[in-house]
Structure 1
Amino acid sequence: MDDSNFEDFKPRFGASTVCMQADIMGRACGIIGNNGPIDTQGANKAGQFFQLCDQANLPIIFLNNTTGFMVGKEYEQAGMVKHGSKMIQAVSNVRVPKITLYIGASFGAGNYAMGGISYAPDLLFSWPNATTGVMAGQSAARTMSTVAKVRAERTGKTIEQEAIDEQEAKIEALFSRQEDVYFTSGRCLDHGVIDPRDTRRVLGFALDTVLESRQRDLQPNAFGVARL
């Protein structure tokens, strides 16, 4: 941020989701970042922030470090599904440029809400330590173990702990390999892995690029191309 100046948006509401307005290389923009799961208040705040950025014609920069939306009875009763869907609806419909940067974890629906590749950001970059996927390998392994145990109990069968441990190891290894940044980037699921030290320069270039692109009207070809 230019001169380390920024305007924090609702800093004491949904504090784990940080929203702010700032300038990068002289370009005004909105910035959203997180450091952990997105809770009910964070999703509510983010949805409103996206709307305000869209109304003010401010590009949005997403700094991804989230394992997804919070789960559990407490959060469901607090409206996690409602507020989470509002956040995803907002990020789906904003008309301003979106620039996404994976700086840590980016899993599950949190990836969607934070401008992941499926939500068509204008540009998306990753740090070398970034990981992304449906869920983390350890979480996936534990989930499948729970499913296997419940199924065994319902059918009156027994399941050996050794088999559970073997299944967990295989699932965790598979997910861990596929969530690696070079695995995902190698499959064109971002626009490149950048050195964290170059982040400010890359974001400045990205802002210049996306804003200039909005000022250009492409002229489509109106003639056929002969076979040569």
Structure 2
Amino acid sequence: RAYDPRFLFTWPNHRIAVMGGEQLAGTLDIIKRESARKRGEAVDEKQLEMMKMMIKMQIDKESDAYFATARIWDDGIIDPRQTRDVLGIALSAAGNRAVEPTTSFGVFRH
């Protein structure tokens, strides 16, 4: 919840991840191969493929909207057709709360 929002709603098709499962599996494949090369070891292709498959499955599962909302990382999944209504209610609720003064300073630039 970067920037401390008052509300954070998502749609059912959203993903929450820095990168997709395929990209992460490919990145780790490169790292494992380079590590094995530096140690002078052979790469076990079968084990590497299994690792890639497991990582892809895990990331695809854990970046799902329902996985995220089940952990209360947001305020819930809304039907995209109800976005205007939910946004209106959220803005009305946010407008009724006092604005809190900042307790820290922003970034100073020269």
TM bucket normalised to smaller: 0.7 to 0.9
Q: Which residue number corresponds to residue 17 of structure 2? A: 133
- Structure 1 residue 184 corresponds to structure 2 residue 68: yes
Bigger RCO (CA 8 Å, 6+ sep) = 2
In the alignment, which of 177, 199, 206 is matched to residue 83 of structure 2?
199
State the match for 1:123 in structure 2: 7
State the one-letter code of the partner of 2:64: D
Equivalent residue, structure 2, for 1:155 = 39
CA distance in 1: counterparts of 2:98 and 2:85, whole angstroms: 20
Q: Please give the TM-score of this superposition, normalised by the length of structure 1.
A: 0.42
- The offset of 1:181, in angstroms, is 0.7
Normalized per residue, which structure has more helix? 2
Aligned to 1:146: 30
Shift of 1:134: 3.2
Offset at 1:205? 1.1
Letter in 2 for 1:177: K
TM-fit CA distance, 1:162: 1.9
Q: CA deviation at 1:158?
A: 1.1
The SS at the match of 2:8 is strand
RMSD (CA atoms): 1.3
How is 1:41-120 mapped onto 2 (pairs within 5 angstroms)? 117-120=1-4
The match for 1:164 is 48
- What is the alpha-carbon distance in structure 2 between the residues aligned to residue 142 and residue 177 of structure 1? 17
Q: Which amino acid aligns with 1:200?
A: R
Structure with more of its chain in strand, by fraction: 1
Percentage identity across paired residues of the two chains = 32
Measure how far apart 1:120 and its partner are.
Answer: 1.6
Matched positions, count = 99
TM-score under structure 2 length normalisation = 0.83
